[in-house]
Amino acid sequence: MLPDLFSATQDYWQKLDRLEARYQRGELPIEAVDAEVKRLMTDLSAERRRALSAFGYVLRHWFTNNRQAIASFSFIVLTIYAWFTVASIA
C-alpha cells in the first residue's frame, strides 16, 4: 500500500499551526518549539522517503512486467525516427 503523503503533509501543517498557537500564547519556550519542529520535520521526511521508495518499487515492478512491450515500443519509435531522418535528407 502506498503511503498517503498528502495526508501526512496536512497533518504536519496542522501540528505546526497548533504548535505556533501554543507558542504565541506563551505556553512553550522557543527551545521546546525548535525541538518539536525538528521532530515533526523528521517524521515528515520519513514519510516522504517511504512514499518515494514505494513509488520506485511500483515503477520497477511495472518495468519488469512490461519489458517486452517497452522494448517493442522503443524499437518502433526508433525505426520511425530513423525513417523520418533519412526521408528528410533525401
pLDDT value at position 90?
64
pLDDT value at position 64?
94
Domains of the chain by residue range: 5-89
pLDDT tens, N- to C-terminus, the chain (90 residues): 667 889 999 999 999 999 999 999 999 999 999 999 999 999 999 999 999 999 999 999 999 999 999 999 999 999 999 999 988 876
pLDDT value at position 87?
86
**DSSP class per residue in 7-75:** HHHHHHHHHHHHHHHHHHTT-S-HHHHHHHHHHHHHHHHHHHHHHHHHHHHHHHHHHHHTHHHHHHHHH
Q: What's the length of the chain?
A: 90
pLDDT value at position 1?
60
pLDDT value at position 21?
96
